[in-house]
Amino acid sequence: MILASNSKRRQEILRDMGFNFKVLTSDIEEISDKEEISEMILDIAEKKLDKIAKENVNEFVLAADTVVELEGRIFGKPKSREEAESFLKILSGKTHKVITAYVLKNISKNIIIKDVVISKVKFFDLDDETINWYLDTSEPFDKAGAYGIQGQGRALVEKIEGDYFAIMGFPVSNFLKNLRKNGYKISQIDRI
């Protein structure tokens, strides 16, 4: 399998489940003309996958994308400490959605599996000291919404509803369920 993602979290989740894969990525502009957020995220995941799948028609290629959404506003990866601080202040004390979309494709076998998983995360009320402590960890800067639930960012989270691994970046249980629906057994995951 080819993973069309540089995300360390996705790699860790898949490796821990026994998937064998190599990482290949293509530079795409992560934009979409879709209006609905879930469709937009799925469209971006498909764009990440397209070029690599066309160049590797006999391989299974997997791509995913994750965003944080609150009241219609999308929070991607912050571009600066100031932007990360702004994100955390806006999310403080509120429940936001974490939307993760993925696509698995094998062109020669005419297989395409895709889905969108939406989870909810509620943050504690965050004071300036907590926000600055978290920013000083440098953890927020390569993560949608400026936090990582699997790291020190867990200190910001009051509760979650939904799939923990989707919040981390890849909904592995949903993915395995969709593989089974398409005739693959869990014992075959090292060969997908």
Spatial separation of the C-alpha atoms in residues 24 and 54, rounded to whole Å: 13
Residue 62 DSSP class: E
Residue 46 DSSP class: H
**What sign results for the dihedral spanned by CA atoms 145, 152, 81, 93?**
positive
3-state secondary structure of 158: strand
Spatial separation of the C-alpha atoms in residues 5 and 33, rounded to whole Å: 21
Please choose, from the candidates 86, 70, 88, the residue with its C-alpha nearest in 3D space to the C-alpha of residue 153: 88
| Catalytic residue status for 65 | yes
Please choose, from the candidates 57, 50, 19, the residue with its C-alpha nearest in 3D space to the C-alpha of residue 192: 19
**What sign results for the dihedral spanned by CA atoms 63, 74, 33, 116?**
positive
Catalytic residue among 16, 33, 50, 65: 65
Spatial separation of the C-alpha atoms in residues 78 and 82, rounded to whole Å: 8
Question: Which residues are catalytic, by number?
Answer: 65
